[in-house]
Copies of this chain bind each other. A is one copy, B any other.
Amino acid sequence: MRKAMFEHEIKILRDTFARLLRRNAHTNLVKLIRKTHPADLAVVFRYFNDEEQVQVFSIMVDDGQAVEFLVELDDTLIANLLEDESPERIATVIQESSANDQSYILGTLEDEQAHSVIELLKTEEQEEIEELMGYPEDSAGAMMTTNVFTLYQNTTCRDALTSLQDQSEAEMVFYLYITDEDDRLVGVASLRALATTPADTILKNIMVKRVHTVRPETDQEEVAQIVAQYNYLAVPVLDEDDQLLGIVTVDDVVDVIREEATEDFLQMAGAGKDREILLKSSWENARARLPWLFASWIGGIFAASIIGTFEHLLESMIALAAFIPVIIGMGGNIGTQSSTIIVRGIATGRIEIGSELKVMWKEVRVGIILGALYGLLLGAFAKFRFIDADPMLGVVVGLSIGCSMLLAVAVGTFVPMFLRKVDIDPAIASGPFVTTSIDILGVLFYFVIAEYFLSI
């Protein structure tokens, strides 16, 4: 299977590290670390225990290798690893890297520790880092690369090529950003356009003038949407005066898309939104999941109270109790289907403002189809299974599951769309919310219907 290729390679690497660490083979470890891609190193690092992590990190040389590795690492692991390092070592490790890598690493540390490190850096670096760290988390400003290569609009293609060749810092040149005399971004040109145009042409005449840009405070999710929508390799970030602050590159967008999907998954399951939850302790895990379960506990208490008030009904027909799980369970499941389809539809831009009613009506039709089908099935089963009970039991059970499923679809569809309307992340209209609502509503409708139809 080709599918397992990547996993297989990582596994071999992990085993090699484990063996060398066990044998304490310093020289071989140094060699292995040197020839391993920092991204791979970051993956296997998760499987080391605390001492092994410290040992491997202490072996890394500070000439750029350590910092390249750190930026690939999960936030939680960076913080753990650097917690006990001296500010001096940290400053040495990060001093040669770019401002956005520096601010990313410092952002994972405690404020005080980060501050001590910043004080050890050069003044101009300090200023740049503090500016970057000032942007909100998950914004374009926080993820942009400030190292951008710009050219003046009246430069000729020949001169542009020459200055490109002198440019050793800006690592990934995707596009050439072109500015006017006031340093405002006025256009963009591709490397290819530059290479395929007569050498005397000025950039102004080959550049594309309509450029999609974002502001530093733009949410990373919107940046990702723009990059994905138009297949860009980078998006420029401008301040209010249209001056180029930096660019967000596609490789960072790839990470954002994965991270946002993970957060949405966790949030919809009512498991918080910490994408690194697997790296956290059982206690932290329990704490993140506790509030959602509390909501569902309260819902359960409500359901218990409702059933309690219908005790007289249950007393005269015990068989009613048997159908509680299937009525609320089917409701919960179809409701979760609906809310998942809607939440994901909103996230991928398939549900636009204005199309809500159409979508809702379609979901309700699905609820009617499936509710009627499973209502008939369950009604028939109830009639057959509890043959001695009231002849209306089948009707009650069938009608109740139909209602429960229809209600669930309505709740599962309406709630995320409503939340979006009031500017709350629809992903919190999560599984627990829908299933809990159905626990309460399903049980209530069930007993009201039973009271109406059963001759008790």
Chain A residues proximal to chain B, CB less than 8 Å: 1-3, 5-7, 10-11, 14, 37, 39-40, 43, 46-47, 161, 164-165, 168, 173, 191-192, 195-196, 214-215, 217-219, 221-222, 225-233, 250-251, 253-255, 257-258, 261-262, 264-266, 268-271, 277-279, 281-283, 285-286, 289-290, 292-293, 296-297, 299-301, 303-305, 307-308, 311, 314-315, 318-330, 332-334, 336-337, 339-341, 343-345, 348-355, 359, 362-363, 365-366, 369-370, 373-374, 377-378, 381, 385-386, 423, 431-432, 435-436, 439, 443
Contact = CB atoms under 8 A, between A and B. Distances in A.
A310 to B, nearest CB: 9
A20 to B, nearest CB: 17
Interface of A is mostly: helix
B227 A254 contact: yes
B341 A271 contact: yes
A255 B228 contact: yes
Given A258-B257, A334-B293, A308 B282 contact: no
A217 B282 CA distance: 40
A330 B39 CA distance: 39
A348 B2 contact: no
Contact of A297 (B47, B164, B377): B377
Contact of A431 (B318, B333, B359): B333
9 A-B pairs with least C-beta separation = A300-B326, A269-B340, A261-B261, A231-B251, A282-B365, A321-B321, A303-B325, A307-B322, A304-B322
Given A168-B196, A265-B265, A333 B2 contact: no
